[in-house]
Amino acid sequence: MPGGLVLSKKYLILIAVLLLSVFSKGQDSIVVSLWKNGAPGFETKSKEPEQAKEWWVKNINNPSLTIFLPPAAIANGTAVIICPGGGFTNLVFDAEGIAAAKYLNGIGVTAFVLKYRLFREPNSPYKEENAKQDIFRAMRLVRSMAHDYQVDTARIGVMGFSAGGEVAGWVSYHYEDKNFVTPDATDLLPARPAFQVLVYPGPLAVPARVSPTAPPTFLLAANDDACCSEPLVQLLQMHRKANVPVEMHLYAKGNHAFNMGSRSALNSIHSWPQRLTDWLTDNNWLVKK
C-alpha cells in the first residue's frame, strides 16, 4: 500500500505538470479556424497536416488565426491581423508572425496571426482568389469575435510583410469586395481595416488607385530592396493624391526580409519597430478605451 501511494503521488505530480504546461500554452496563444468545417470548396482538405520546419510553415489547407493576447493590465482594445510573408510558397510564421505578435502584445495590442493559403506552392490547388478569401474572412471573423477578446471593432488593423503585405493591401484597398463563396453571418460584416502596416510589401499590394476612404497607412522598407522598395514609393504617391494619411520610412540599407529587425546589425533596421510604436501612439491607437 505505501508503495502504491507513492506511485500515485508521482502520477499526480506528473499530471499536474502536464496540465500546467497545456494551460500555459493555451494562455500564450489560441488557434481558431477561419471556417468551422474548412475552407469553402476545399472542406475535404481541412484535415491534411501542415508542414513546418525551422522558420517556415507550408501546406496550409485549413486557414486559421493564431491569437496572442497582451497582458490584461496594458491591453488597450486595439487589434492587428498579421500576415507573414513567404512569396506564397511558405509562411515565415515565426519571424514575421509570432515575433510581430509578441511585439504588439508588449504595447497592449491583441494580435491575430493569419495562416493563409499558398497559391504558388508546388502542386497547390489554390489560386490568388483563395488567399483573398482568407484575409477577408479573417477581418470579418475578428470583428465577430471582438467582444470575446475585449477588442474594439473600430480599432482592428492589418499588418503584412512582403507577400503578406500584398495580402494586407488586398483587404485595405478593396475592402468593399465580397470575396466569399458561400456566405454566412460572419461574411456579412464589414471588412475594412481601421489602419494598415505594410513592411516591404510586394507589387501585388499596389492597386490601380487608392480610394479617399482607404485606411491610414504606415509604410516601411529599405531602398536597396530590389523587390519591394518601388511599391512603397508608388503607394506613397497614390496616398498623397487621394489625401489618405500615410507615413513612410525608406531606409538606405537593409535589403529584404529583415523581419522585426532583431537580427540586423544596422541600427535603423534594428530599431524600426519603435517607429511603428510612435506612429500608433501619435494616431491614438494605443490609448486604452
Residue-wise pLDDT tens digits, 203-243 = 999 999 999 999 999 999 999 999 999 999 999 999 999 99
If you search the block for the grid coordinates 501619435, which residue do you land on? 282
pLDDT score at 28: 62
Dihedral sign for Cα 244, 173, 56, 46, please. positive
- From the number of C-beta atoms within 10 Å of its C-beta (0-12, 13-18, 19+), residue 54 rates as exposed
pLDDT tens track for 36-56:
999 999 999 999 999 999 899
Other Cβ atoms less than 10 A from the Cβ of 50: the count is: 14
The x, y and z cell numbers of residue 50, run together, are 501542415
- Residue 23 maps to a domain: no
Question: Would you say residue 9 has pLDDT above 80?
Answer: no
Domain for residue 58, yes or no?
yes
How is residue 37 written as a grid cell? 468545417
- Tell whether 288 is covered by a domain: no
Sign of torsion over alpha carbons 57, 58, 60, 63 = positive
Cell of 274: 519603435
What distance in Å separates the CA atoms of residue 285 and residue 78, rounded to the nearest whole number? 6
Residue at 276 is within a domain? yes
Q: How far apart are CA 81 and CA 156, in angstroms?
A: 8
The answer to whether residue 4 sits within a structural domain is no
Write down the pLDDT at residue 29.
79
Domain count within the chain: 1
Specify the pTM. 0.90
Domain extent at residue 136: 30-282
Residue 189 lies in a domain: yes
Rounded Cα gap, residues 275 and 263, in angstroms: 17
What distance in Å separates the CA atoms of residue 250 and residue 59, rounded to the nearest whole number?
Answer: 33
Q: Do the domain assignments include residue 289?
A: no
Q: Does position 73 have pLDDT exceeding 70, yes or no? A: yes
Q: Would 74 be classed as within a structural domain?
A: yes
Residue 274 pLDDT class (50, 70, 90 cuts): very high
The CATH number of whichever domain residue 59 belongs to comes to 3.40.50.1820
